[in-house]
Structure 1
Amino acid sequence: MSGTALRERAALLDELHQIVLAMKNLALSELQRLGRQVEALRPALATVCTALQDVSDAGVGHAAVPSQDRPGGAVGWWVIGAERGFCGAHNSHLAQVVRDLRGADPRTCFWLASRRLQTLLEDLPGAVPVPLAACAAIEEVDDTLDDWWAMLDPVLAACRELWLLYPDESGLVRRRLWPPEPPDRPASLRTAPAPVHYLSLQALTAALTRQLLQLRLRVALMAALTQENHARLAQMQRAQDHLDELGRSLRQRYAQQRQAQITDELETLMSSIDA
Protein backbone atom coordinates (compact mmCIF):
# COMPACT_ATOMS: atom_id res chain seq x y z
CA MET A 1 0.00 0.00 0.00
CA SER A 2 1.40 3.39 -1.01
CA GLY A 3 2.07 6.21 1.44
CA THR A 4 -0.88 8.16 0.02
CA ALA A 5 -3.20 5.19 0.53
CA LEU A 6 -1.92 4.75 4.09
CA ARG A 7 -2.60 8.40 4.89
CA GLU A 8 -6.13 8.14 3.45
CA ARG A 9 -6.75 5.00 5.49
CA ALA A 10 -5.49 6.75 8.62
CA ALA A 11 -7.84 9.69 8.00
CA LEU A 12 -10.76 7.28 7.60
CA LEU A 13 -9.86 5.50 10.85
CA ASP A 14 -9.70 8.83 12.65
CA GLU A 15 -13.16 9.74 11.36
CA LEU A 16 -14.56 6.39 12.49
CA HIS A 17 -12.90 6.87 15.87
CA GLN A 18 -14.70 10.21 16.31
CA ILE A 19 -18.05 8.66 15.39
CA VAL A 20 -17.57 5.80 17.84
CA LEU A 21 -16.52 8.21 20.58
CA ALA A 22 -19.64 10.32 19.97
CA MET A 23 -21.89 7.25 20.19
CA LYS A 24 -20.10 6.16 23.37
CA ASN A 25 -20.63 9.58 24.96
CA LEU A 26 -24.30 9.52 23.94
CA ALA A 27 -24.78 6.14 25.62
CA LEU A 28 -23.08 7.43 28.77
CA SER A 29 -25.31 10.50 28.81
CA GLU A 30 -28.47 8.41 28.42
CA LEU A 31 -27.35 6.06 31.19
CA GLN A 32 -26.94 8.99 33.58
CA ARG A 33 -30.39 10.37 32.75
CA LEU A 34 -32.01 6.94 32.98
CA GLY A 35 -30.34 6.34 36.32
CA ARG A 36 -31.83 9.51 37.79
CA GLN A 37 -35.32 8.62 36.57
CA VAL A 38 -35.11 5.03 37.79
CA GLU A 39 -34.11 6.28 41.24
CA ALA A 40 -37.17 8.55 41.25
CA LEU A 41 -39.45 5.65 40.24
CA ARG A 42 -38.51 3.39 43.14
CA PRO A 43 -40.21 5.38 45.93
CA ALA A 44 -43.28 5.94 43.72
CA LEU A 45 -43.60 2.20 43.08
CA ALA A 46 -43.07 1.43 46.77
CA THR A 47 -45.77 3.95 47.76
CA VAL A 48 -48.34 2.47 45.38
CA CYS A 49 -47.54 -1.07 46.52
CA THR A 50 -47.89 -0.05 50.16
CA ALA A 51 -51.21 1.71 49.51
CA LEU A 52 -52.52 -1.30 47.60
CA GLN A 53 -51.49 -3.61 50.42
CA ASP A 54 -53.20 -1.32 52.96
CA VAL A 55 -56.42 -1.52 50.94
CA SER A 56 -56.01 -5.28 50.64
CA ASP A 57 -55.59 -5.59 54.40
CA ALA A 58 -58.76 -3.54 54.84
CA GLY A 59 -60.74 -6.41 53.36
CA VAL A 60 -61.06 -6.04 49.60
CA GLY A 61 -57.70 -6.99 48.13
CA HIS A 62 -57.22 -8.00 44.56
CA ALA A 63 -60.65 -9.56 44.31
CA ALA A 64 -61.91 -6.09 43.43
CA VAL A 65 -59.86 -6.14 40.24
CA PRO A 66 -61.82 -7.48 37.23
CA SER A 67 -60.83 -11.12 36.98
CA GLN A 68 -58.94 -12.39 33.94
CA ASP A 69 -58.84 -15.98 35.19
CA ARG A 70 -59.67 -17.84 32.00
CA PRO A 71 -58.32 -21.39 32.16
CA GLY A 72 -58.68 -21.84 28.40
CA GLY A 73 -57.13 -18.53 27.44
CA ALA A 74 -53.62 -17.93 26.17
CA VAL A 75 -50.62 -16.64 28.09
CA GLY A 76 -49.30 -13.40 26.62
CA TRP A 77 -45.81 -11.91 26.69
CA TRP A 78 -45.04 -8.21 26.40
CA VAL A 79 -41.46 -8.23 25.10
CA ILE A 80 -39.29 -5.10 25.23
CA GLY A 81 -36.28 -5.23 22.91
CA ALA A 82 -33.73 -2.77 21.54
CA GLU A 83 -34.87 -0.43 18.79
CA ARG A 84 -31.40 0.86 17.88
CA GLY A 85 -28.44 -1.20 16.77
CA PHE A 86 -24.84 -1.55 17.93
CA CYS A 87 -25.74 -3.39 21.13
CA GLY A 88 -24.38 -6.87 20.44
CA ALA A 89 -26.62 -9.90 21.02
CA HIS A 90 -29.16 -7.88 23.02
CA ASN A 91 -32.12 -8.77 20.77
CA SER A 92 -30.84 -12.23 19.86
CA HIS A 93 -31.15 -13.45 23.45
CA LEU A 94 -34.73 -12.17 23.64
CA ALA A 95 -35.57 -13.80 20.31
CA GLN A 96 -34.31 -17.17 21.53
CA VAL A 97 -36.45 -16.97 24.68
CA VAL A 98 -39.50 -16.10 22.56
CA ARG A 99 -38.84 -19.14 20.36
CA ASP A 100 -38.50 -21.35 23.43
CA LEU A 101 -41.77 -20.05 24.88
CA ARG A 102 -43.63 -20.61 21.61
CA GLY A 103 -42.11 -24.09 21.35
CA ALA A 104 -43.31 -24.95 24.87
CA ASP A 105 -46.86 -23.69 24.15
CA PRO A 106 -47.90 -22.96 20.53
CA ARG A 107 -50.85 -20.88 21.80
CA THR A 108 -48.59 -18.34 23.49
CA CYS A 109 -49.14 -14.79 22.20
CA PHE A 110 -46.44 -12.13 21.89
CA TRP A 111 -46.42 -8.34 21.66
CA LEU A 112 -43.02 -7.07 20.55
CA ALA A 113 -41.78 -3.55 21.30
CA SER A 114 -38.86 -3.50 18.85
CA ARG A 115 -38.81 -3.49 15.06
CA ARG A 116 -35.39 -5.14 15.08
CA LEU A 117 -36.72 -7.93 17.29
CA GLN A 118 -39.71 -8.35 14.98
CA THR A 119 -37.29 -8.84 12.07
CA LEU A 120 -35.49 -11.60 13.98
CA LEU A 121 -38.80 -13.40 14.58
CA GLU A 122 -40.37 -13.15 11.13
CA ASP A 123 -40.16 -16.93 10.74
CA LEU A 124 -41.64 -17.71 14.17
CA PRO A 125 -44.13 -20.58 13.74
CA GLY A 126 -47.72 -20.08 14.82
CA ALA A 127 -49.52 -16.79 15.32
CA VAL A 128 -47.61 -13.72 14.16
CA PRO A 129 -46.36 -11.52 17.05
CA VAL A 130 -48.14 -8.20 17.33
CA PRO A 131 -45.91 -5.13 16.90
CA LEU A 132 -45.89 -2.48 19.63
CA ALA A 133 -44.63 1.09 19.58
CA ALA A 134 -40.87 0.97 20.01
CA CYS A 135 -38.76 3.31 22.12
CA ALA A 136 -35.36 4.35 20.76
CA ALA A 137 -34.34 6.97 23.33
CA ILE A 138 -35.29 8.39 26.69
CA GLU A 139 -37.06 11.33 25.02
CA GLU A 140 -39.60 8.86 23.56
CA VAL A 141 -40.51 7.13 26.83
CA ASP A 142 -43.71 9.07 27.58
CA ASP A 143 -45.10 8.81 24.04
CA THR A 144 -44.28 5.10 23.93
CA LEU A 145 -46.00 4.45 27.26
CA ASP A 146 -49.08 6.36 26.09
CA ASP A 147 -49.27 4.11 23.02
CA TRP A 148 -48.82 1.00 25.15
CA TRP A 149 -51.48 2.05 27.64
CA ALA A 150 -53.98 2.74 24.86
CA MET A 151 -53.80 -0.87 23.66
CA LEU A 152 -53.28 -2.61 27.00
CA ASP A 153 -56.96 -3.26 27.82
CA PRO A 154 -57.61 -5.30 24.62
CA VAL A 155 -54.43 -7.25 25.33
CA LEU A 156 -55.54 -8.03 28.89
CA ALA A 157 -58.93 -9.11 27.56
CA ALA A 158 -57.25 -11.60 25.20
CA CYS A 159 -55.02 -13.26 27.80
CA ARG A 160 -55.56 -15.14 31.02
CA GLU A 161 -52.09 -13.94 32.04
CA LEU A 162 -49.79 -11.26 30.67
CA TRP A 163 -46.07 -11.36 31.42
CA LEU A 164 -43.29 -8.85 30.85
CA LEU A 165 -40.03 -9.98 29.28
CA TYR A 166 -37.16 -7.52 29.22
CA PRO A 167 -33.44 -7.32 30.04
CA ASP A 168 -31.96 -5.66 33.09
CA GLU A 169 -28.63 -5.79 34.90
CA SER A 170 -29.39 -9.25 36.32
CA GLY A 171 -30.29 -10.80 32.96
CA LEU A 172 -33.66 -11.38 31.32
CA VAL A 173 -36.57 -10.54 33.62
CA ARG A 174 -39.87 -12.42 33.50
CA ARG A 175 -42.48 -10.61 35.60
CA ARG A 176 -46.21 -11.18 35.62
CA LEU A 177 -48.03 -7.97 34.80
CA TRP A 178 -51.60 -9.28 34.91
CA PRO A 179 -53.17 -10.39 37.15
CA PRO A 180 -50.78 -8.25 39.18
CA GLU A 181 -48.55 -10.03 41.62
CA PRO A 182 -49.79 -8.98 45.07
CA PRO A 183 -47.41 -6.58 46.79
CA ASP A 184 -46.05 -8.01 49.99
CA ARG A 185 -44.48 -6.64 53.14
CA PRO A 186 -43.24 -8.05 56.45
CA ALA A 187 -45.85 -9.53 58.76
CA SER A 188 -44.98 -6.94 61.42
CA LEU A 189 -46.36 -4.21 59.15
CA ARG A 190 -49.59 -5.97 58.24
CA THR A 191 -51.48 -4.72 61.30
CA ALA A 192 -51.49 -1.10 60.18
CA PRO A 193 -54.77 0.79 60.72
CA ALA A 194 -57.24 0.96 57.85
CA PRO A 195 -56.36 3.72 55.37
CA VAL A 196 -58.38 6.92 55.25
CA HIS A 197 -60.06 7.23 51.85
CA TYR A 198 -62.94 8.97 50.10
CA LEU A 199 -63.70 6.32 47.48
CA SER A 200 -65.17 2.89 47.87
CA LEU A 201 -62.52 0.29 48.59
CA GLN A 202 -63.38 -1.41 45.29
CA ALA A 203 -62.90 1.78 43.26
CA LEU A 204 -59.74 2.64 45.17
CA THR A 205 -58.28 -0.84 44.60
CA ALA A 206 -59.02 -0.68 40.88
CA ALA A 207 -57.41 2.77 40.59
CA LEU A 208 -54.32 1.73 42.54
CA THR A 209 -54.00 -1.43 40.48
CA ARG A 210 -54.02 0.53 37.24
CA GLN A 211 -51.42 2.88 38.69
CA LEU A 212 -49.33 -0.14 39.60
CA LEU A 213 -49.58 -1.47 36.03
CA GLN A 214 -48.48 1.90 34.62
CA LEU A 215 -45.50 2.10 36.97
CA ARG A 216 -44.40 -1.46 36.25
CA LEU A 217 -44.55 -0.82 32.50
CA ARG A 218 -42.45 2.32 32.98
CA VAL A 219 -39.94 0.51 35.20
CA ALA A 220 -39.64 -2.31 32.65
CA LEU A 221 -39.09 0.12 29.76
CA MET A 222 -36.51 2.15 31.69
CA ALA A 223 -34.66 -1.01 32.74
CA ALA A 224 -34.62 -2.27 29.14
CA LEU A 225 -33.28 1.08 27.87
CA THR A 226 -30.64 1.09 30.58
CA GLN A 227 -29.42 -2.39 29.69
CA GLU A 228 -29.51 -1.55 25.98
CA ASN A 229 -27.24 1.44 26.57
CA HIS A 230 -24.91 -0.64 28.73
CA ALA A 231 -24.64 -3.14 25.87
CA ARG A 232 -24.09 -0.34 23.34
CA LEU A 233 -21.44 1.23 25.55
CA ALA A 234 -19.57 -2.07 25.77
CA GLN A 235 -19.86 -2.53 22.00
CA MET A 236 -18.53 0.97 21.34
CA GLN A 237 -15.64 0.40 23.73
CA ARG A 238 -14.68 -2.77 21.84
CA ALA A 239 -14.95 -0.87 18.55
CA GLN A 240 -12.79 1.94 19.94
CA ASP A 241 -10.13 -0.51 21.14
CA HIS A 242 -10.13 -2.19 17.72
CA LEU A 243 -9.77 1.15 15.92
CA ASP A 244 -6.92 2.14 18.26
CA GLU A 245 -5.13 -1.11 17.43
CA LEU A 246 -5.66 -0.60 13.69
CA GLY A 247 -4.38 2.97 14.00
CA ARG A 248 -1.21 1.84 15.78
CA SER A 249 -0.60 -0.82 13.15
CA LEU A 250 -1.18 1.67 10.34
CA ARG A 251 1.15 4.25 11.84
CA GLN A 252 3.82 1.59 12.28
CA ARG A 253 3.50 0.51 8.64
CA TYR A 254 3.66 4.12 7.48
CA ALA A 255 6.76 4.77 9.61
CA GLN A 256 8.47 1.66 8.24
CA GLN A 257 7.58 2.62 4.68
CA ARG A 258 8.76 6.18 5.17
CA GLN A 259 12.01 4.97 6.71
CA ALA A 260 12.58 2.71 3.72
CA GLN A 261 11.96 5.64 1.35
CA ILE A 262 14.42 7.83 3.26
CA THR A 263 17.00 5.05 3.17
CA ASP A 264 16.56 4.64 -0.59
CA GLU A 265 16.90 8.41 -1.12
CA LEU A 266 20.08 8.54 0.96
CA GLU A 267 21.61 5.59 -0.89
CA THR A 268 20.78 7.24 -4.21
CA LEU A 269 22.33 10.47 -3.04
CA MET A 270 25.51 8.76 -1.81
CA SER A 271 25.80 6.85 -5.07
CA SER A 272 25.58 10.07 -7.07
CA ILE A 273 28.25 11.69 -4.88
CA ASP A 274 30.59 8.70 -5.32
CA ALA A 275 30.06 8.84 -9.08
Structure 2
Amino acid sequence: MTHRHALEQRRTQLSEAQEIMESMKSLAFMEVRKLEQRATMQRALVDTLEQVAADFLHFYPDFHAWAPPEATIYLLLGSERGFSGAFNGRLLEQLADEPGAEQARLIVCGHKLHSRLKDDPRLLASLDGPSVQDEVQGFLLNLLERISQEQRKSALTIKMISHDPAVEQVRVEYLLPPFQTLLNTERSDLTPPLLNLPPRAFYAELVDHYLLASLNEKVCSSLQAENHYRMLHLDGAVRYLQDRLDRMRLKSNQLRKEEITEEIEVILLSADSVRPGNDTV
Protein backbone atom coordinates (compact mmCIF):
# COMPACT_ATOMS: atom_id res chain seq x y z
CA MET A 1 0.00 0.00 0.00
CA THR A 2 2.91 2.35 0.77
CA HIS A 3 4.23 1.96 -2.79
CA ARG A 4 0.83 2.82 -4.29
CA HIS A 5 0.45 5.89 -2.10
CA ALA A 6 3.91 7.09 -3.21
CA LEU A 7 2.87 6.47 -6.81
CA GLU A 8 -0.34 8.46 -6.35
CA GLN A 9 1.60 11.32 -4.76
CA ARG A 10 3.94 11.37 -7.75
CA ARG A 11 0.96 11.35 -10.11
CA THR A 12 -0.45 14.39 -8.33
CA GLN A 13 2.85 16.24 -8.69
CA LEU A 14 3.10 15.45 -12.39
CA SER A 15 -0.52 16.50 -12.94
CA GLU A 16 0.22 19.87 -11.36
CA ALA A 17 3.32 20.26 -13.55
CA GLN A 18 1.23 19.40 -16.60
CA GLU A 19 -1.34 22.07 -15.71
CA ILE A 20 1.42 24.67 -15.32
CA MET A 21 2.87 23.75 -18.71
CA GLU A 22 -0.57 23.95 -20.31
CA SER A 23 -0.94 27.48 -18.91
CA MET A 24 2.51 28.45 -20.20
CA LYS A 25 1.60 27.10 -23.63
CA SER A 26 -1.61 29.15 -23.66
CA LEU A 27 0.31 32.31 -22.70
CA ALA A 28 2.84 31.64 -25.47
CA PHE A 29 0.00 31.25 -27.96
CA MET A 30 -1.49 34.62 -26.96
CA GLU A 31 1.92 36.30 -27.25
CA VAL A 32 2.37 34.85 -30.75
CA ARG A 33 -0.91 36.40 -31.87
CA LYS A 34 -0.14 39.84 -30.37
CA LEU A 35 3.40 39.89 -31.75
CA GLU A 36 2.24 38.77 -35.17
CA GLN A 37 0.01 41.84 -35.45
CA ARG A 38 2.72 44.20 -34.26
CA ALA A 39 5.38 42.70 -36.55
CA THR A 40 3.03 43.00 -39.53
CA MET A 41 2.46 46.71 -38.85
CA GLN A 42 6.19 47.32 -38.42
CA ARG A 43 6.93 45.40 -41.62
CA ALA A 44 4.56 47.68 -43.53
CA LEU A 45 6.35 50.73 -42.08
CA VAL A 46 9.75 49.30 -43.03
CA ASP A 47 8.55 48.67 -46.60
CA THR A 48 7.35 52.28 -46.86
CA LEU A 49 10.66 53.67 -45.56
CA GLU A 50 12.60 51.45 -47.98
CA GLN A 51 10.51 52.82 -50.84
CA VAL A 52 11.26 56.38 -49.72
CA ALA A 53 14.95 55.53 -49.44
CA ALA A 54 14.99 53.96 -52.90
CA ASP A 55 13.45 57.08 -54.41
CA PHE A 56 15.83 59.37 -52.53
CA LEU A 57 18.99 57.39 -53.30
CA HIS A 58 18.09 57.27 -56.99
CA PHE A 59 18.76 61.02 -57.13
CA TYR A 60 21.37 61.20 -54.34
CA PRO A 61 23.44 58.03 -54.83
CA ASP A 62 26.47 59.49 -53.02
CA PHE A 63 24.69 58.99 -49.70
CA HIS A 64 24.95 55.25 -50.22
CA ALA A 65 28.72 55.51 -49.78
CA TRP A 66 29.81 54.62 -46.24
CA ALA A 67 33.27 54.73 -44.71
CA PRO A 68 35.13 51.41 -44.95
CA PRO A 69 34.27 49.48 -41.80
CA GLU A 70 36.97 48.87 -39.24
CA ALA A 71 35.07 46.03 -37.57
CA THR A 72 32.13 43.71 -38.06
CA ILE A 73 29.65 43.10 -35.26
CA TYR A 74 27.07 40.34 -35.24
CA LEU A 75 23.90 41.09 -33.31
CA LEU A 76 22.20 37.87 -32.19
CA LEU A 77 18.57 37.94 -31.04
CA GLY A 78 18.30 35.00 -28.66
CA SER A 79 15.79 34.02 -25.99
CA GLU A 80 15.50 35.53 -22.56
CA ARG A 81 13.56 32.58 -21.14
CA GLY A 82 13.83 28.83 -21.42
CA PHE A 83 11.52 26.13 -22.81
CA SER A 84 12.33 27.28 -26.35
CA GLY A 85 13.81 24.09 -27.77
CA ALA A 86 16.42 24.60 -30.51
CA PHE A 87 15.77 28.35 -30.83
CA ASN A 88 19.23 29.46 -29.63
CA GLY A 89 21.03 26.49 -31.12
CA ARG A 90 19.95 27.42 -34.64
CA LEU A 91 21.29 30.96 -34.19
CA LEU A 92 24.68 29.58 -33.18
CA GLU A 93 24.69 27.19 -36.14
CA GLN A 94 24.08 30.12 -38.50
CA LEU A 95 26.81 32.17 -36.83
CA ALA A 96 29.28 29.30 -37.31
CA ASP A 97 28.49 29.29 -41.05
CA GLU A 98 29.11 33.03 -41.51
CA PRO A 99 32.35 33.93 -43.35
CA GLY A 100 34.70 35.87 -41.12
CA ALA A 101 32.62 35.29 -37.98
CA GLU A 102 35.73 34.02 -36.17
CA GLN A 103 37.18 37.56 -36.15
CA ALA A 104 33.89 39.43 -35.60
CA ARG A 105 32.59 40.79 -32.31
CA LEU A 106 29.26 39.72 -30.84
CA ILE A 107 26.39 41.56 -29.18
CA VAL A 108 24.13 38.94 -27.66
CA CYS A 109 20.53 39.59 -26.64
CA GLY A 110 18.77 37.18 -24.31
CA HIS A 111 19.89 35.56 -21.06
CA LYS A 112 19.64 31.98 -22.33
CA LEU A 113 21.79 32.66 -25.39
CA HIS A 114 24.30 34.63 -23.32
CA SER A 115 24.73 31.67 -20.97
CA ARG A 116 26.01 29.66 -23.96
CA LEU A 117 28.42 32.38 -25.13
CA LYS A 118 29.58 33.96 -21.86
CA ASP A 119 33.10 32.51 -22.25
CA ASP A 120 33.41 33.33 -25.96
CA PRO A 121 36.33 35.76 -26.53
CA ARG A 122 34.35 37.47 -29.30
CA LEU A 123 31.63 38.60 -26.88
CA LEU A 124 31.45 42.39 -26.88
CA ALA A 125 28.26 42.92 -24.88
CA SER A 126 25.15 41.13 -23.70
CA LEU A 127 21.70 42.60 -23.12
CA ASP A 128 18.63 41.27 -21.37
CA GLY A 129 16.08 40.47 -24.04
CA PRO A 130 12.32 41.06 -23.90
CA SER A 131 10.13 38.29 -22.50
CA VAL A 132 6.80 39.74 -23.66
CA GLN A 133 5.60 42.36 -26.12
CA ASP A 134 5.31 45.06 -23.43
CA GLU A 135 9.09 44.89 -22.84
CA VAL A 136 10.07 45.42 -26.50
CA GLN A 137 10.17 49.23 -26.38
CA GLY A 138 12.49 49.40 -23.38
CA PHE A 139 14.74 46.76 -24.90
CA LEU A 140 14.99 48.72 -28.17
CA LEU A 141 16.13 51.84 -26.32
CA ASN A 142 18.91 49.89 -24.58
CA LEU A 143 19.94 48.21 -27.83
CA LEU A 144 20.06 51.45 -29.82
CA GLU A 145 22.15 53.08 -27.09
CA ARG A 146 24.63 50.21 -27.23
CA ILE A 147 24.85 50.40 -31.02
CA SER A 148 25.42 54.18 -30.80
CA GLN A 149 28.28 53.62 -28.37
CA GLU A 150 30.00 51.32 -30.85
CA GLN A 151 29.35 53.71 -33.75
CA ARG A 152 31.06 56.53 -31.89
CA LYS A 153 34.21 54.40 -31.53
CA SER A 154 34.72 53.50 -35.19
CA ALA A 155 33.07 52.82 -38.53
CA LEU A 156 31.55 49.39 -38.45
CA THR A 157 29.30 46.87 -40.13
CA ILE A 158 26.51 45.33 -38.08
CA LYS A 159 24.81 42.15 -39.20
CA MET A 160 21.79 40.77 -37.38
CA ILE A 161 21.08 37.07 -36.96
CA SER A 162 17.49 36.37 -35.95
CA HIS A 163 14.54 34.07 -36.52
CA ASP A 164 12.02 34.88 -39.22
CA PRO A 165 8.68 33.19 -38.41
CA ALA A 166 7.30 33.98 -41.87
CA VAL A 167 9.68 31.48 -43.52
CA GLU A 168 10.54 29.51 -40.34
CA GLN A 169 14.25 30.11 -40.91
CA VAL A 170 17.13 32.03 -39.41
CA ARG A 171 17.92 35.18 -41.39
CA VAL A 172 21.12 37.22 -41.65
CA GLU A 173 20.63 40.88 -42.60
CA TYR A 174 22.64 44.08 -42.65
CA LEU A 175 21.63 46.54 -39.99
CA LEU A 176 24.46 48.95 -40.82
CA PRO A 177 25.10 50.17 -43.46
CA PRO A 178 21.35 50.47 -44.11
CA PHE A 179 19.45 49.89 -47.35
CA GLN A 180 21.89 47.27 -48.68
CA THR A 181 19.09 45.53 -50.59
CA LEU A 182 18.49 48.74 -52.54
CA LEU A 183 21.99 48.89 -54.07
CA ASN A 184 21.53 48.06 -57.78
CA THR A 185 17.85 48.94 -58.15
CA GLU A 186 17.05 50.55 -61.50
CA ARG A 187 14.29 53.20 -61.61
CA SER A 188 13.22 55.29 -64.61
CA ASP A 189 9.74 56.52 -63.61
CA LEU A 190 10.72 59.03 -60.92
CA THR A 191 10.80 62.78 -60.56
CA PRO A 192 13.22 64.43 -58.12
CA PRO A 193 11.84 64.56 -54.57
CA LEU A 194 10.77 67.87 -53.04
CA LEU A 195 12.58 68.09 -49.71
CA ASN A 196 11.85 70.42 -46.82
CA LEU A 197 15.27 69.65 -45.34
CA PRO A 198 18.78 69.66 -46.76
CA PRO A 199 19.48 66.24 -48.32
CA ARG A 200 22.05 65.28 -45.68
CA ALA A 201 19.72 66.13 -42.79
CA PHE A 202 16.83 64.35 -44.50
CA TYR A 203 18.87 61.20 -45.06
CA ALA A 204 20.15 61.19 -41.45
CA GLU A 205 16.58 61.32 -40.13
CA LEU A 206 15.45 58.69 -42.63
CA VAL A 207 18.18 56.32 -41.45
CA ASP A 208 17.23 56.88 -37.79
CA HIS A 209 13.55 56.14 -38.46
CA TYR A 210 14.45 53.14 -40.58
CA LEU A 211 16.76 51.61 -37.96
CA LEU A 212 14.13 51.97 -35.24
CA ALA A 213 11.34 50.50 -37.40
CA SER A 214 13.55 47.71 -38.73
CA LEU A 215 14.77 46.72 -35.28
CA ASN A 216 11.22 46.87 -33.95
CA GLU A 217 10.02 44.50 -36.68
CA LYS A 218 12.93 42.08 -36.24
CA VAL A 219 12.68 41.98 -32.45
CA CYS A 220 8.91 41.36 -32.59
CA SER A 221 9.38 38.67 -35.23
CA SER A 222 12.13 37.04 -33.17
CA LEU A 223 9.99 37.07 -30.02
CA GLN A 224 7.09 35.68 -32.03
CA ALA A 225 9.28 32.82 -33.29
CA GLU A 226 10.60 32.23 -29.77
CA ASN A 227 7.08 31.82 -28.40
CA HIS A 228 6.23 29.50 -31.29
CA TYR A 229 9.23 27.35 -30.40
CA ARG A 230 8.09 27.45 -26.77
CA MET A 231 4.60 26.29 -27.75
CA LEU A 232 6.03 23.31 -29.65
CA HIS A 233 8.46 22.46 -26.85
CA LEU A 234 5.78 22.65 -24.17
CA ASP A 235 3.33 20.68 -26.29
CA GLY A 236 5.86 17.86 -26.53
CA ALA A 237 6.48 18.02 -22.78
CA VAL A 238 2.74 17.96 -22.01
CA ARG A 239 2.24 14.93 -24.21
CA TYR A 240 5.19 13.18 -22.59
CA LEU A 241 3.73 13.87 -19.13
CA GLN A 242 0.33 12.64 -20.24
CA ASP A 243 1.89 9.39 -21.42
CA ARG A 244 3.65 8.97 -18.07
CA LEU A 245 0.47 9.76 -16.16
CA ASP A 246 -1.45 7.17 -18.18
CA ARG A 247 1.16 4.51 -17.44
CA MET A 248 1.23 5.47 -13.76
CA ARG A 249 -2.56 5.29 -13.60
CA LEU A 250 -2.49 1.74 -15.01
CA LYS A 251 0.25 0.80 -12.54
CA SER A 252 -1.74 2.32 -9.68
CA ASN A 253 -4.85 0.37 -10.70
CA GLN A 254 -2.82 -2.84 -10.81
CA LEU A 255 -1.39 -2.18 -7.35
CA ARG A 256 -4.88 -1.42 -6.04
CA LYS A 257 -6.16 -4.74 -7.39
CA GLU A 258 -3.28 -6.51 -5.65
CA GLU A 259 -4.13 -4.70 -2.40
CA ILE A 260 -7.79 -5.73 -2.69
CA THR A 261 -6.75 -9.33 -3.31
CA GLU A 262 -4.52 -9.25 -0.24
CA GLU A 263 -7.34 -7.75 1.84
CA ILE A 264 -9.75 -10.50 0.71
CA GLU A 265 -7.17 -13.15 1.58
CA VAL A 266 -6.74 -11.64 5.05
CA ILE A 267 -10.51 -11.57 5.56
CA LEU A 268 -10.83 -15.21 4.46
CA LEU A 269 -8.01 -16.27 6.75
CA SER A 270 -9.61 -14.37 9.61
CA ALA A 271 -12.95 -16.05 8.88
CA ASP A 272 -11.34 -19.51 8.90
CA SER A 273 -9.71 -18.80 12.24
CA VAL A 274 -13.04 -18.11 13.99
CA ARG A 275 -15.03 -21.06 12.61
CA PRO A 276 -16.36 -23.71 15.12
CA GLY A 277 -13.78 -26.43 15.62
CA ASN A 278 -10.88 -24.09 14.98
CA ASP A 279 -10.83 -22.82 18.54
CA THR A 280 -7.22 -22.86 19.65
CA VAL A 281 -7.92 -21.69 23.23
Residues 158 and 175 of structure 2 are in contact (CA less than 8 Å); yes or no, is this contact kept in structure 1? yes
Residues 1-275 of structure 1: pairs in structure 2 closer than 5 A: 2-57=3-58, 59-61=59-61, 63-64=62-63, 67-70=66-69, 73-99=70-96, 101=98, 104-124=100-120, 126-157=121-152, 158-169=154-165, 170-182=168-180, 184=182, 190-273=188-271, 275=275
Residues 65 and 209 of structure 1 are in contact (CA less than 8 Å); yes or no, is this contact kept in structure 2? no
Cα offset, 1:44, TM superposition: 1.0
Q: Distance in 2 between matches of 1:134 and 1:14?
A: 31
**Segment drifting more, 93-102 vs 243-252:** 93-102
Q: Tell me the SS of whatever aligns to 1:75.
A: strand
The percentage of aligned residue pairs carrying the same residue is: 22
Q: Distance in 1 between matches of 2:79 and 2:39?
A: 18
Cα offset, 1:273, TM superposition: 4.4
Q: Tell me the SS of whatever aligns to 2:129.
A: coil
String of CA shifts for 1:134-161, please: whole Å, max 9, x gaps.
2222111000001111222232353531
Residues 71 and 104 of structure 2 are in contact (CA less than 8 Å); yes or no, is this contact kept in structure 1? yes
Residues 57 and 63 of structure 2 are in contact (CA less than 8 Å); yes or no, is this contact kept in structure 1? no
Cα offset, 1:56, TM superposition: 1.8
Aligned residues: 269
Q: Which segments of 5 or more consecutive residues in structure 1 lack a partner in the other structure?
A: none
- The amino acid of 2:41's aligned partner reads A
String of CA shifts for 1:217-263, please: whole Å, max 9, x gaps.
11111111111111111110011001101111111111111112222
Residues 94 and 170 of structure 2 are in contact (CA less than 8 Å); yes or no, is this contact kept in structure 1? no
Cα offset, 1:210, TM superposition: 1.7
Residues 88 and 232 of structure 1 are in contact (CA less than 8 Å); yes or no, is this contact kept in structure 2? yes
**Segment drifting more, 24-33 vs 112-121:** 112-121
- The amino acid of 2:114's aligned partner reads Q
Q: Distance in 1 between matches of 2:98 and 2:55?
A: 36
Residues 95 and 121 of structure 1 are in contact (CA less than 8 Å); yes or no, is this contact kept in structure 2? no
String of CA shifts for 1:29-68, please: whole Å, max 9, x gaps.
10011011012112211111111112122x114x336723
Q: Distance in 1 between matches of 2:122 and 2:16?
A: 45
RMSD: 2.5
Q: Distance in 2 between matches of 1:185 and 1:65?
A: 8
- The amino acid of 1:195's aligned partner reads P
Residues 75 and 162 of structure 1 are in contact (CA less than 8 Å); yes or no, is this contact kept in structure 2? yes
Residues 156 and 162 of structure 1 are in contact (CA less than 8 Å); yes or no, is this contact kept in structure 2? no
Q: Which segments of 5 or more consecutive residues in structure 2 lack a partner in the other structure?
A: 276-281
Cα offset, 1:214, TM superposition: 1.3
Q: Tell me the SS of whatever aligns to 1:129.
A: strand
Cα offset, 1:182, TM superposition: 4.0
TM-score normalised to structure 2 length: 0.86
Closer, same or farther in 2 for the Cα pair 1:177/1:64, shift >3 Å?
same
**Segment drifting more, 250-259 vs 156-165:** 156-165
Higher Cα radius of gyration: 2
Closer, same or farther in 2 for the Cα pair 1:226/1:190, shift >3 Å?
farther
Cα offset, 1:16, TM superposition: 0.4
